[in-house]
Each structure stands twice: as structure tokens, then as C-alpha cells.
Structure 1
Amino acid sequence: MNKLLFEKLDIAYEEMVVIRRHLHMHPELSFKEEKTAQYIHDFYVDLGVDVRSGVGGNGVVARVKGARPGKTVALRADFDALPIQDEKDVPYKSTVPGVMHACGHDGHTAALLHLAKAIHELREDLAGEYVFIHQHAEEFAPGGAISMIEDGCLDGVDVIFGTHLWSLIPYKTIEYLTGPVMAAADRFEITIQGAGGHGAAPHQTKDAIVIGAQLVMNLQQLVSRRVDPIESAVLSVGSFVADNAFNVIADSAKLGGTVRTFNPDVRDMMEREMARVVKGTALANDCEIRFDYFRGYPAVVNHKEETEFLKDIAESVPGVEHVVESKPQMGGEDFAYYLEKVPGTFFFTGAQPAETYPHHHPKFDFEEQAMLLAAKTLGAAALGYQAE
């Protein structure tokens, strides 16, 4: 059956590219993906597949039942874009100013659509049920996964598989990992209210820039001096804004950044210790500082049995030359919510192009043939799981 599936996907590859490039030219931001969702919905309607739109917002869920009883396998792809100006010189460059697919979600969608089509065409020879989850808003917390789950996208599901096309991993490579594979991704904002004044009279002020600089340095010590070296954490201040004339001492300043962790206890400790440092800095400088901490996605934690199963499946997929254990990544992914509800695994499909740029870069692109390997690996996992 895998052979028939792979043959159908090979035939569909050119159309897969057409869909990917159409989506790349017409990107939509998180929670605003109305036309993309309609495009996905219409694809399934044209196939005659049972499909539901508006799942948890802009999500789309299609279901294909085999002719025989079996397990229910879910496969997920995301479809939102990013607020980035596309700087590639390609025919399929984004037509929407300031918005582009800079993370491969257009490729995820194209691959899953044609995998669904192939499985639909083979349904009379298949057992079980196949759930195709097209998720909106992966890029912006609270994300689309949690609302889609609340709206029933995982009802009756026994296992879930997902993949991410990865531009920094060589093409024809599948990377897997048991346990934590992507980090919890949190965000913070710190607002300092000092007392501004003339640059020539600093003694009459409470300099928000100096206070902010103290905070940046003090916060950097949390990972090195408060986190167990065996554990992992990242604290990055990505924004420091205090715009004034050259001879004015800042009245206020605002800092923003992110915290990444794998261990829930470390996550709790980082939030608690950051609040303590902020409070102490405010006391030391006799000023007001507001600290807001926003919890994002939890860590993506792959299940052992399903990950080992996926590894074995990937080694049998034609075109895949290397199946290797990956290192944990500090990037975040709301696929984590699915794995909190049902067993499954999230893996990376190598998609490194000739000219390589990282994800979320204005010139990001990927090797389009990797979509075919992603679809084949997901498909083989879905069919193979029926025999488990």
C-alpha cells in the first residue's frame, strides 16, 4: 500500500509545487487567514471529502475513513505567514507588502493537501480513519492549536504526527528526537517609569535608561547563576526603547524579550526570579517598574514509542537518505498542545536549498522536493500505524 501511496504522491508533486507557490504569493498573518482557509476548504470539497471549516477560528479539519475498522490517525500542517517583507527574487515572491511565508507553512499545507488526496483515493483499501488538521495561527500565541483542540479536532484520535520543513537541515534528511524537542516560548515586557529631566542635571532625575541597563545586565545572570547547568534556558532582551532628544534624560523606557525553557520547573523559576530582580531594581532606584510575563506555548515533548516508530518508518521511505537524532531546539511550536492530549511525535524534514537562509529571514526559501519526502513520511506513518 505504501508503494501505491508513494506513486500517487510522485504524480502529484508538480501540483504540490503549484499550490505551495500560490500560497506563497498570497500569505496571510496569524488569525487573519480567511482566504487561505477557504482555499483549503475548497480543495477538500472538490475531492468530495468530509471537511469542516471555522474550527477553533480559521482552522480546517478533513476526515477520510477507510473501508475497514482501525485506528484514527491525525496529521497536522499549519498555514499562517509572518509580518516580514519578502526580499527573494523569484517568480512566486509574496504579492502582499510586509507579509510572507518565511517558515515553510505554505509547503506544509501543500504537502498535506496532496497526501490527503492520495489517501482519499486509496480509502477502499485502507483501514481506520485519517484526520487532516490544517491549523491557523501557529506563529502568534496563544496560537491556533489550543482552540482547535477545544473545538474537537482531536476527537477520537489515537495518535498524531507532524513535521516541519527545515531550511538548515540537508535535503533527504529526517531528524527525530524522543522527549523535549522544542522549547516553551514565553514573552515578557518591562516598563520603567523614572523621572526625566535635562541631560545637564542628572542628579535631579531617575534615569530610565540607566535603570533599564541595570535590568538587562541583572537578568542575564539568571541563566548563568540560577539555572542548574544540567538544565537549559534562554533569556533574551530583544527590545529596549527610550526615545528622546540627545540632551534629555529618559523619563521612561520599555524592554521586551523572550524566555525559552524545556523543564516546567525551570520555566516557573525563571518567571519568579525575573519578578524578584525587577522588584529589587525598582527598590534600589526608587522608581516604578511594571513587569508583565506572558506564557506562550509549552515545550514540544515527543512520545517515546511513537518517535521510535516514526524513525523506523522514515528509514523505509524512498528518497530519504539519512535518519538522524536531532538536538533540542529553543524555537517554540504549538504542536505541543496536541502532544499533551494524545500520543505522537513531531519531526523535521530537511529542506536546505542551494542558497540557505534561516527561518523568519526576508530571503527564506526551501528545497521544494522536500515537500514530497514530508508527505511520504507522514503518509507511511499514518498507514503503518494501523498495523501497530
Structure 2
Amino acid sequence: MKKNLFEKLDEKETRMVEIRRYLHQHPELSFQETKTAAFITNFYQGLDCEVQTHVGGNGIVVTIDSGFPGKTLAIRADFDALPIQEETGLPFASQNSGVMHACGHDGHTAYMMILGETLIELKNQFVGKIVILHQPAEETPPGGAKGMIEAGCLEGVDHVVGIHVMSTMPTGEINYREGAIQTGRSYFKLKIKGQGGHGSSPHLSNDAIVAASHFVTATQTIVSRRLNPFEMGVVTIGSFDGKGSFNVIKDTVNLEGDVRAMSEDTRKTIQEAVKRLVIGLESMFGVTCELTYNDDYPTLINDLELTDFIVRSLKQSKISEVTEIKRCDPQPPSEDFAYYAQERPSVFFYVGAMPENGVFYPHHHPKFEINEKSLLISAKAMGSVVCDYLNGGED
């Protein structure tokens, strides 16, 4: 089956690239991907599979049933874009102003569509079921995964596997890690209200900027003085809105912050510390504070046994385009695939997509680009896992 799969994918690589380029030209923002969802749905029309649309929003669930009893493996690809003005100069650059596939989700969708079509053609060669999760809205909390799960996309599913192409990793590499692999994320807004006044008479006012500045500095002690040195945590104040006239003492300041952590316990510790600082700020400066604190994407945890199975599958498959399969460091960004991993034993791994000239831009950059050779590698890597899993290898 694997040999047949690889041969068919080789024949379809050009179509895979064409689909990716079409999607790149027509990006849509999170929760607005109606045309993309329709494009994906139309692709599967007439193929021997079950297609569910509008799953938790714009989500699409494609079920490929072999007709033989066995396990059910879900494989996921996201398809939303970002609010970024593209600066790549590519001939297939975004035609939607201010919207860009700057994270590789166009590539994820393209390889998954062609892989799905090919697995349908080979469905009589495996046992059990494949569930393809074409997921919207990965980029924007609460995320598309949560809505799809609430809509029942994981009913009957035993495990979930996902891939992310990475411009920062050499093309040909596959990277993996067991356990905690991507950070959990939280977000907070803080409104600090003092008493405005004239810059010449601070004694008649209560400067919100001074209080807010102290908070910015104090939050940096959370990581250095509240976390175990062996735990990873980041607190970033990304927005400080205190603009006003140079000679006016500011009445109100609004802050926004971003929190990342590699464990749920650490994320909870940071949240409690932020809340204590806010209480102390009110007491120290005599201001009033309004804090909104939201946890969104949890820490992404790869299942140990499934990771071991996938690594063995990839190594034994001897994919000709793969130069190295290696264990990598945890990745700082967050990923809503973590919601699947909370519900089922799951694994998320990475396929290198660095341009051949070695010049790359990070994800979410207006000049972000991937090496399109990563599409075929992704399809073969995921296809290898599916073949081995649904031929009984997982047990």
C-alpha cells in the first residue's frame, strides 16, 4: 500500500503545488473562510467518502471508511490566513489586500487534499477509518479546533495526528518531540484609572502612566522570581496605550499582555501572580484597575507511545525526499491542535520547508515563503503514518 501511495503522490505533486498556489492567492481570515471551505468541499464531491460541512463553523470532516473493522485515525490540516499585507513579490501572491497565508496553512490544505484523494483510491487496502479534519480558524482564539470538537468531530476517533511545515527548518528534515512541544497561551487586558490633571501640578492628580509603568516592570519579575528556573514562561506587554498631550497627566492607561508557558501549572502560576500585582498596584498607587484575563490555547502535549510509533513508521518508510528525522527542541508559539491532544492521544510534528537558497523569514512575516517540495514530503510522511496505523502497526 505504501509503495502504491508514494507512486500516486509523485504523479500528483504538480496538482498539489497548483492547489497550494490557488489557496495562497485567495486567503481568508479566521472564521471568515467561507470560499476556502467551499473550495475544499467541492474537491471531494464525487469521491467515495463522506463529507460533513459547517462542522463547528467552517470546518469540514471527510471520513474514508475502508469497510473493514479497525481503528479510526484523524489527520488534521488548517486553512485560515492572517491579517498581513504580503510582500513576497511572488507571481501567485495574495489577491486579497491585507490578508496573507503567512504561516503555511495553504500548504497544509493542499497536501492534505491530494493525500485524501489518494487514500480514497486505496481504501480497500487498509482496515478501519480515516477522518480528515479540514480545520478553520487556527490563528484566532478560541480557535477552530475547539468548535469542531464541540460539534463532535472526534466521535469514534482513537488518535489524532497533525503536521506543520516550518520555514525555519531545512527542507528534507522531519522534526518531532514527545511530551510538551508547544506553549500554552493566555491573554490579558488591564485598564488603569487614576486622576488626570495638568503636568505642572502632579500633586493634584494621580498619574496612571506612572502606575502602568511600574506594572510593566513588575510583571518581568514573575518569570525571574515566581517560576521554577527549570520551567519555561514568558510574559510580554505588547500594547501600552497612554498617548496624550505632553503637558497633561494621563487619566487612564490600557495595557495588553501575552503569556506563554510549557505547562498548565506554570500558566496558572503566572495568572495568579498577575492578579496579585494588580491588587498591589491599586494599593500602592491609589488607582483602580479592571483586569480581563483569558486562557486560550493549552500547552500542546504529544503522546509518548504514539510519538514512538510515528518515529518508527517514518524511519522505516525510507521516504527518498527525507534527509533526516530528528528530535527537536520545544517550539515557543502556541497551536490550537492542543485541544485535540486534550481529548485523544495525539502527535504534532514538523516538516522542514526552508527555501533552497537558505534565506528564510519566520512564520507571520510579510515575506514568509515555503519550499514547495515540503508538500510532497508532508503528504508522504502523513501517508506513511496512516498506512502503518491502519495496517495494525499501532498496536
* Partners of 1:267 and 1:334 in 2: CA distance: 16
Q: 2:379 aligns with which of 375, 378, 383?
A: 375
Q: 1:12 is matched with which residue? A: 12
Shift in Å, 1:49: 2.7
- The amino acid across from 1:178 in the alignment is E
Map residues 1-388 of structure 1 onto 2, 5 A cutoff. 1-315=1-315, 316=317, 317-353=319-355, 354=357, 355-386=359-390, 387-388=392-393
Count of residue correspondences:
388
Shift in Å, 1:200: 2.0
SS at match of 1:206: coil
Shift in Å, 1:205: 1.7
Shift in Å, 1:66: 1.5
Shift in Å, 1:199: 1.8
- The amino acid across from 1:352 in the alignment is M
* Partners of 1:253 and 1:344 in 2: CA distance: 42
- The amino acid across from 1:363 in the alignment is K
Aligned alpha-carbon RMSD (Å): 1.1
TM-score, normalised via structure 1 length:
0.98
Shift in Å, 1:322: 0.7
The runs of 5 or more residues in structure 1 that have no matched partner are none
- The amino acid across from 1:283 in the alignment is S
Larger deviation: 154-163 or 65-74?
Answer: 65-74
Shift in Å, 1:70: 2.0
SS at match of 2:91: coil
Shift in Å, 1:158: 1.4
Q: Please give the per-residue CA displacement for 1:254-305, whole angstroms capped at 9, x wherever unaligned.
A: 1111111122221111111100001101211101111111111111100011
* Partners of 2:122 and 2:63 in 1: CA distance: 14
SS at match of 2:140: coil
SS at match of 2:333: coil
SS at match of 2:152: coil
SS at match of 2:375: helix
- The amino acid across from 2:287 in the alignment is C
* Partners of 2:110 and 2:6 in 1: CA distance: 16
* Partners of 1:67 and 1:154 in 2: CA distance: 19
- The amino acid across from 1:380 in the alignment is S
Contact 1:297–1:334 (CA under 8 A) maintained in structure 2? yes
The runs of 5 or more residues in structure 2 that have no matched partner are none
Q: Please give the per-residue CA displacement for 1:18-61, whole angstroms capped at 9, x wherever unaligned.
A: 11111111111111111111111110114343101000111001
* Partners of 1:305 and 1:229 in 2: CA distance: 28
* Partners of 2:67 and 2:219 in 1: CA distance: 58
Shift in Å, 1:247: 1.8
Contact 1:179–1:301 (CA under 8 A) maintained in structure 2? yes
Q: Please give the per-residue CA displacement for 1:337-378, whole angstroms capped at 9, x wherever unaligned.
A: 111111120001110113300001111111111011111111
- The amino acid across from 2:245 in the alignment is A
Contact 1:314–1:320 (CA under 8 A) maintained in structure 2? no
Contact 1:187–1:295 (CA under 8 A) maintained in structure 2? yes
Which runs of 4 or more aligned residues in structure 1 lie more than 4 Å from their structure 2 counterparts after TM superposition? none
Contact 1:67–1:125 (CA under 8 A) maintained in structure 2? no
